[in-house]
Amino acid sequence: MPDLEVLPIDVAEKFAPTLSAEAAAIVQAYQRVSKAGSTVRAYTSDARVFQDWCARYGFRSLPATLEAVAGFLVHEAEAGRSASTIGRRCAAIRYAHKLAGAPDPTDDEGVRAALKGARRKVGTAPTQKAAATADILMALLMRTPDTLTGKRDRALLALGFAGAFRRSELVALDVADLRDDPKGLRVTVRRSKTDQEGQGVEIAIPHGRFIRPVALVREWLDAAEITEGPVFRPVSRSGRVRSSGQVGHLVPRLTTQAVADIIKRYCVAAGLDAPAFGAHSLRSGYITSAAERGVDLARIMDQSRHRDPRTVLGYVRRANAFKEHSGDGFL
């Protein structure tokens, strides 16, 4: 199977008699951005795994036979892959065939049955990262040092929690996305997991009385003398905000992995089980904290931007598992 990042070229070449090289390149570019960058990278990796498996067992990877796809999915289950990984690899095979204009082998009833059996074998319950609730977040903030790095980390933790942001949304923020409001801060998320076309959405961040996310963001920006460009940037060991140092080069911003590392570092400092927490813990922590306080589901979804209420209801149920329990009166 060709590399997914190369596949669009093959698709564009089908139109070679009618498209110029420049037009074909434009088609290729639009096909590439039809999926999020992280999705394309994951699909590319999955496609290579499938290609290697097919080569090992003498199958053709594109177009793939029904037997090859079903056998591959069963093999992945036997190898102990998670249900989400198996599902994503199936989606990668589907996407590759779609781009190549080939029949979709994953649409076959036998392949779907193999996928269902594979998922049943490994189990589909996702591993949940612990929620960094308001109380836990306060404990993390108390461990941040009064340095430039500490100010950045305080701002990142507080804003990530207050906006129920995904880590990709958090590191993508620019100063231009922040707008002061008498009641707090209006933050524009220009692109997200559920908004790949970049329509954008505005998130309200109140001043707050306890965590005070707006004040912490302003403290960081003032201390780092940041007036434009990325909000969250690397800080060197010497305590200086890193810049490219070259005219025309982009100012570096924190990576999504850095967000996870920062959270885990302060969990260690607070004496918490660090492996149980991750970058998603800020987002789930906000939702859980709101649910514990009986906030209306629709209002929670306004902040979290979830499209499916069932996802949020999962957090609500976990948060209120013991609240007014049916067995309180007799257990």
pLDDT of residue 133: 92
Q: Is the pLDDT of residue 193 over 50?
A: yes
What are the backbone dihedrals phi and psi of residue 204, each rounded to the nearest 5 degrees, phi first?
-90, 130
Residues 235 and 141: their CA atoms lie apart, in Å, by 18
pLDDT of residue 24: 47
pLDDT of residue 262: 95
Q: Which of 207 and 33 is assigned the larger pLDDT?
A: 207
Calculate the alpha carbon distances from 298 to 24, 95, 266, 295, 306 in Å: 45, 34, 32, 9, 10
Cβ atoms of 62 and 47 within 8 Å: the answer is no
Cβ atoms of 98 and 138 within 8 Å: the answer is no
Residues 192 and 196: their CA atoms lie apart, in Å, by 6
Residues 105 and 90: their CA atoms lie apart, in Å, by 10
Q: Strand 178-181 vs strand 184-189: parallel, antiparallel, or unpaired?
A: antiparallel
What does the radius of gyration of the chain's CA atoms come to, in whole angstroms? 23
Residues 123 and 291: their CA atoms lie apart, in Å, by 28
pLDDT of residue 15: 37
Cβ atoms of 193 and 166 within 8 Å: the answer is yes
Q: Which of 216 and 112 is assigned the larger pLDDT?
A: 216
Residues 288 and 291: their CA atoms lie apart, in Å, by 5
Q: Is the pLDDT of residue 231 over 80?
A: yes
Say which residues have a Cβ less than 8 Å from residue 169's Cβ, sequence separation at least 6: 163, 189, 192
Q: Which of 267 and 193 is assigned the larger pLDDT?
A: 267
Question: What would the mean pLDDT of 175-180 be, rounded to a whole number?
Answer: 95
Mean pLDDT of the chain: 82
Alpha carbon distance, N-terminus to C-terminus of the chain: 59
Cβ atoms of 242 and 229 within 8 Å: the answer is no
Cβ atoms of 270 and 143 within 8 Å: the answer is yes
Residue 331: strand, helix, or coil: coil
pLDDT per residue as tens digits for the range 234-288? 998 888 887 754 444 578 899 999 999 999 999 999 999 988 998 889 999 999 9
Q: Is the pLDDT of residue 7 over 80?
A: no
Question: What would the mean pLDDT of 101-121 be, rounded to a whole number?
Answer: 85
pLDDT of residue 311: 80
**Would you place residue 28 in the very low, low, confident or very high pLDDT band (cuts 50, 70, 90)?**
low
pLDDT of residue 198: 59
**Would you place residue 35 in the very low, low, confident or very high pLDDT band (cuts 50, 70, 90)?**
low
pLDDT of residue 23: 47
Angle at 14 between CA 9 and CA 15, to 5 degrees: 100
Catalytic residues: 166, 193, 280, 283, 306, 315
Say which residues have a Cβ less than 8 Å from residue 112's Cβ, sequence separation at least 6: 106
pLDDT per residue as tens digits for the range 144-155? 999 999 999 999
pTM above 0.85, yes or no: no
Cβ atoms of 247 and 185 within 8 Å: the answer is no
pLDDT per residue as tens digits for the range 61-71? 888 899 999 99
Residues 325 and 331: their CA atoms lie apart, in Å, by 10
Cβ atoms of 164 and 287 within 8 Å: the answer is yes
Question: What would the mean pLDDT of 175-201 be, rounded to a whole number?
Answer: 82
pLDDT of residue 135: 93
**Would you place residue 37 in the very low, low, confident or very high pLDDT band (cuts 50, 70, 90)?**
low
Quick one: the chain helix, strand, coil %, rounded to 5?
55, 5, 40
Cβ atoms of 263 and 249 within 8 Å: the answer is no
Residues 296 and 225: their CA atoms lie apart, in Å, by 39
Q: Which of 25-39, 153-167, 277-291, 315-329 has the lowest mean pLDDT?
A: 25-39
pLDDT per residue as tens digits for the range 309-320? 888 888 888 888
pLDDT of residue 32: 53
What does DSSP assign to residue 231? S
